Chain A
């Protein structure tokens, strides 16, 4: 068994996964929006819609991002438990509100701050729990 501690490197990889995942939604949405002039009513227009999407650079950028995420996520899972990796990946619930404030100047309600705080404490506890286990096994 190799070490299973959550290191800063793993945390950064998980955050990269979160950021890329947001990028995927954005890229796919962009590629679909570029085809909004095509109204899908039958098979012919459906084919036209997919033809348009297939040549969209946004779609290919999105698909490339999917592959990148899969690679990063697999690397993370070689190092730590699934029950640690998945909860820590919920980091996006903290990142998205922060980004909305800093870059989009959105208002964040108190309830949302409470939620972000809970997620933050949870992520810290889960990260520490994997260190705890390492110390026990020594």
Chain B
């Protein structure tokens, strides 16, 4: 049982990691296009088409697909509410990756907020 728990937890960590990698690729692709937000529909469509033409984005999508497959395996082994609360570790990965890969400035306040969201999600999922 204990071994099964560790297996499920590492699988959940793996899906979270794959999701994080997907978001990193998406964010870096968007940043590289240097698009100024607008409400001009044609400009938005042009931007989206340019975006889906980037190989980096499809690399990200393939990670997202892997993540989905692992998630389905997790759901076949664990309760949904346990899986959801454990999946909140996703926020830590995003925070760390943003800090160290994208070099975003993480203030104490942002870390605190991210931590509180994680605690909150565990409570919501377990209740």
| B23 in contact with A86 (CB, 8 Å) | yes
- In the complex, the chain A residue whose C-beta lies closest to that of B98 is A83
Contacts of A36 in B (CB 8 A): none
Say whether A126 faces chain B, with CB atoms less than 8 Å apart: yes
Over the window 74-86 of chain A, the binary record of Cβ atoms lying under 8 Å from chain B Cβ atoms (1 yes, 0 no) is 1101110111101
Are B117 and A77 in contact, CB atoms less than 8 angstroms apart?
A: no
**Docked-complex contact A119 and B121, CB < 8 angstroms:** yes
CB contacts between A and B, total, < 8 Å: 131
Chain B 113-127 interface mask (CB, 8 Å, partner A; 1/0): 111111111111111
Q: Kindly report which residue of chain B lies nearest to residue A120, judged by CB atoms.
A: B120
Main secondary structure of the interface of B (DSSP, over half): helix
Q: Is B27 in contact with chain A by the CB < 8 A criterion?
A: yes
Contact: A90 with B37, CB < 8 Å? no
By a CB distance below 8 angstroms, the chain B residues around A81 are 98, 102, 104
Query: A124: which of B51, B113, B115 is its contact (CB, 8 Å)?
Result: B113
Partner-binding segment picked from A41-49, A50-58, A109-117: A109-117
Residues of B within 8 A of A130 (CB): 110
Establish whether residues B26 and A74, one from each chain, have CB atoms under 8 Å apart when the complex forms: yes
Smallest distance from the beta carbon of A66 to chain B beta carbons, Å?
11
CA distance A87 to B117 in the complex (A): 7
Q: Is the Cβ of B113 less than 8 Å from the Cβ of A123?
A: yes
Q: Would A122 and B26 count as touching, CB distance under 8 A?
A: no
User: Which of A70, A79, A97, A125 sits near B113, CB closer than 8 Å?
Assistant: A125
Residues in chain A within 8 A of chain B (CB atoms): 2, 70-71, 73-75, 77-79, 81-84, 86-87, 90, 93, 97, 109, 111-112, 114-130, 132-133
